[in-house]
């Protein structure tokens, strides 16, 4: 019995509208945070947040997949790129903020699924709930009058047999003169739901941690060049946290040819690429040469790695000679495409062999055309009238400082421009097979023709193409696929399997008649529930009538198991 409010040791009365709540201590706050984190609502929010956080990875190039694209992005956006780099936009999937969301989602799913699994296991072992007192309040309620002379216990036992054949878990109940059976099924729905979430956790584990045993590397190959699968042969290499270079399987990859099919009939899409195909050959130690094609989204298997096609372009071959005619530099240089018609930009660096270090910034036009302003551009991506222009610089290339520099950019701070721009000297302009002297008597430069024996005016094979390959080793691919299949199966089961409860009650009337009541209850959406209740009632009534007709003197007690 509580004390009156005016007792001398009673607490002061609360002001109007105030609520007296106990203060949460440190443990209480930790429990509250844990419950919020492990709720299904939070897990769904984090999953959505993870999907949104992955969007920048498709908007800007990533260092792990396209380092050349990152370099080009910095060149095209010198102001925006450093700002994006500060927030790790070029390393989205390994950034601190993406990893934080990833780990929180992992913890949330674990904390959400384990208690639900325990509850589900307990529910599977528990008996179906008792029959409600008033079935008329439930969905699909219907009633039937049992055949004359039918016994309540026998009728309910017959209903139990029908429900068992339908896959229901059943339990008999007796309350005075009333007999009833309670049945339920659809626990497979929750099993599928839990399977989906466990599979999602499995995907997170295999992708987040299993990926640490793989690697991803990129290599640019010009037609005719060969790559050997060693650590130093990659242009860029991104190993996993637990990667061991001893797992690199020895093989060599040769780019035999690169073909492109262009749209030539539809004028609205004229010149658009229809198909890219890299013809390659792979030679593994002690095995025969394996030839194949690598296309976009059609990788080639080489040992325990997959070879993907990332990009392509032209690689003009440039030869530089000193004044004495001695070759000091010759190499095919991959030029990075700048537009859909493959106007391409590249850099040639000649560090030795001439009086000064020489650098050249070149533009390559597969089909050169001239705009009204006098600027050159490419009007078609294939080789119909190829032209190479070069702006020449002389001075310090910055290679002697020991600082790595990109092969796709040229620092001109310590160099003097000799052609093009404001020098008043026209840029060097070459077609395949042509040569021209470098300014200042430095030597000469030649644009090599890859098919010197071709007919005059036929430039179709005059410039070799390059292909950029992404070579990946991912030992978790099979696991990810398995968990993905399990997730889809679990999702389908949770969506298609209804969970419902059905009850059958036999009530004896004062006049000796027997009324059978049927009803159901759905856990979630179940549009077929009422039809299921009606079907059960009809089949049960028909079965009772059939049995009574077959043996009117049938002892109802014998129907019990």
pLDDT digits (tens, 9 = 90+) for 36-71: 888 878 888 998 999 999 898 888 888 877 777 888
Residues 434, 330, single domain; the answer is yes
Give CA–CA dist 193/269, Å, rounded: 47
pLDDT at 378 over 90: yes
Tell me, yes or no, whether 288 and 329 share the same domain.
no
d(CA 182, CA 533): 13
Confidence of residue 287 (pLDDT cuts 50, 70, 90): confident
**Would residue 373 count as lying in a domain?**
yes
Structural domain contains residue 485? no
309 in the same domain as 328: no
- Judge whether 16 lies within some domain: no
> Are 146 and 175 part of one and the same domain?
yes
When pLDDT is cut at 50, 70 and 90, the band that residue 32 belongs to is: confident
Q: Tokens 């440039």 identify what position?
A: 318
388 belongs to a structural domain: yes
Statement to judge: residues 85 and 140 lie in one domain:
no
Domain enclosing residue 338, as ranges? 317-447
CB 291 within 8 A of CB 280: yes
With 0-12 CB in 10 A as exposed, 13-18 as middle and 19+ as buried, what is 318? buried
d(CA 340, CA 423): 31
Q: In this structure, are 322 and 306 located in the same domain?
A: no
Contact of 477 with 397, CB cutoff 8 Å: no
Mean pLDDT of 213-224: 91
**pLDDT, tens only, 181-212:** 999 998 898 899 999 989 988 988 888 777 78
Do residues 302 and 323 share a domain?
A: no
Residues whose CB is less than 8 angstroms from the CB of residue 163 and which lie 6 or more positions away in sequence, other chains included: 170, 181, 183, 502, 504, 536
Please determine, for residue 555, whether its predicted confidence score (pLDDT) is greater than 80.
Answer: no
Q: What is the mean pLDDT of residues 476-487?
A: 91
- 146 assigned to some structural domain: yes
Arithmetic mean of pLDDT, 423-434 = 93
What was the pLDDT predicted at 8? 54
The CATH number that applies at residue 131 is: 3.30.310.50
Question: What span, in angstroms and rounded, lies between the C-alpha atoms of 92 and 60?
Answer: 10
Residue 393 inside a domain? The answer is yes
Average pLDDT value for the chain: 87
Note whether residue 493 is domain-resident.
no
How many Å apart are CA 300 and CA 289, to the nearest integer? 14
Cβ-based neighbour number of residue 122 at 10 Å: 9
Where is the domain boundary, 457, 473, 489? 473
Evaluate whether residue 524 is within a structural domain.
Answer: yes
pLDDT at 559: 39
The total of structural domains in the chain comes to 4
pLDDT of residue 236: 86
Are residues 303 and 229 part of one domain? Answer: yes
Looking at the DSSP assignment, which residues form a beta bridge with residue 357?
Answer: 395
pLDDT of 239 higher than 50: yes
pLDDT of 481 strictly over 60: yes
DSSP for 310-326 reads: EEEEE--EEEEE-TTS-
pLDDT at 85 over 80: yes
* Residue 351: its H or E element: none
pLDDT the model gives residue 550: 61
302 and 364 share one domain: no
What percent of the chain has a predicted confidence (pLDDT) above 70? 94
Asked whether the predicted pLDDT for residue 2 surpasses 70, the reply is no
pLDDT at 415: 93
**In a shared domain, residues 273 and 341:** no
Q: Both 153 and 265 in a single domain? A: no
User: Are 172 and 253 part of one and the same domain?
Assistant: no
Encoded tokens for 1: 């019995």
Interatomic CA distance for residues 157 and 171, integer angstroms: 10
Question: For residue 177, what pLDDT is reported?
Answer: 78
Kindly tell me if the per-residue pLDDT of 494 is higher than 60.
yes
The pLDDT, as a whole number, for residue 557 is 37
Question: What is the 8-class DSSP label of residue 116?
Answer: H
Measured CA to CA, the distance from residue 438 to residue 321 in angstroms comes to 9
Residues 379-409 have pLDDT tens digits of 999 999 999 999 999 999 988 777 777 888 8
Mean pLDDT (whole number) for 287-301: 92
Residue 353 in this model has a pLDDT that exceeds 60: yes
């Amino acid at each position: 019995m509580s004390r009156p409010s005016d007792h001398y040791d009673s607490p002061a009365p609360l002001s109007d509208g105030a609520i007296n709540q106990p203060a949460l201590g440190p443990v209480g706050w930790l429990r509250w945070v844990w419950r919020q984190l492990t709720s299904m609502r939070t897990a769904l929010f984090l999953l959505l947040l993870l999907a949104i956080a992955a969007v920048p990875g498709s908007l800007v190039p990533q260092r792990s997949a396209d380092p050349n694209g990152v370099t080009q992005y910095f060149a095209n956006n010198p102001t925006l790129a450093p700002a994006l780099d500060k927030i790790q936009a070029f390393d989205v999937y390994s950034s601190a903020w993406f990893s934080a969301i990833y780990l929180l989602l992992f913890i949330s799913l674990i904390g959400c699924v384990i208690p639900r699994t325990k509850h589900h296991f307990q529910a599977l072992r528990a008996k179906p709930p008792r029959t409600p007192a008033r079935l008329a309040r439930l969905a699909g309620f219907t009633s039937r009058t049992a055949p004359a002379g039918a016994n309540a216990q026998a009728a309910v036992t017959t209903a139990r047999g029908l429900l068992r054949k339908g896959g229901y878990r059943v339990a008999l109940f007796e309350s005075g003169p009333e007999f009833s059976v309670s049945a339920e099924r659809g626990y497979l729905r929750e099993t599928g739901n839990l399977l989906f979430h466990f599979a999602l956790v499995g995907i997170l584990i295999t992708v987040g941690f299993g990926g640490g045993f793989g690697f991803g590397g990129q290599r640019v190959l010009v037609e005719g060049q060969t790559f050997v699968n060693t650590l130093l042969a990659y242009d860029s290499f991104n190993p996993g946290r637990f990667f061991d270079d001893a797992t690199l399987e020895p093989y060599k990859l040769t780019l035999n040819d690169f073909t492109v099919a262009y749209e030539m009939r539809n004028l609205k899409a004229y010149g658009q690429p229809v198909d890219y195909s890299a013809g390659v050959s792979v030679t593994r130690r002690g095995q025969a040469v394996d030839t194949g094609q690598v296309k976009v989204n059609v990788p080639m298997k080489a040992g325990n790695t997959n070879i993907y096609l990332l990009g392509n372009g032209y690689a003009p071959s440039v030869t530089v000679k000193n004044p004495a005619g001695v070759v000091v530099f010759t190499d095919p240089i991959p030029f990075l495409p700048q537009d859909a018609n493959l106007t391409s930009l590249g850099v040639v660096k000649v560090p030795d062999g001439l009086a000064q270090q020489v650098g050249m910034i070149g533009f390559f036009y597969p089909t050169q055309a001239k705009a009204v302003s006098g600027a050159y551009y490419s009007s078609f991506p294939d080789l119909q009238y190829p032209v190479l222009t070069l702006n020449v610089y002389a001075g310090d290339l910055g290679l002697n400082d020991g600082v790595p520099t990109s092969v796709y950019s040229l620092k001109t701070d310590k160099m003097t421009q000799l052609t093009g721009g404001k020098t008043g000297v026209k840029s060097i302009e070459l077609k395949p097979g042509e040569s021209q002297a470098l300014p200042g008597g430095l030597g000469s430069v030649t644009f090599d023709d890859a098919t010197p024996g071709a007919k005059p005016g036929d430039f179709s094979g005059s410039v070799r193409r390059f292909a950029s390959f992404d070579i990946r080793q991912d030992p978790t691919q099979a696991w990810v696929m398995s968990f993905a299949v399990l997730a889809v199966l679990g999702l389908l089961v949770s969506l298609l399997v209804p969970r419902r409860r059905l009850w059958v009650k036999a009530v004896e009337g004062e006049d000796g008649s027997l009324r059978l009541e049927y009803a159901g209850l759905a856990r979630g959406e179940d549009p077929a529930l009422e039809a299921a209740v009606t079907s059960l009632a009809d089949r049960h009534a028909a079965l009772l009538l059939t049995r009574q007709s077959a043996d009117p003197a049938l002892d109802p007690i014998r129907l019990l198991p």
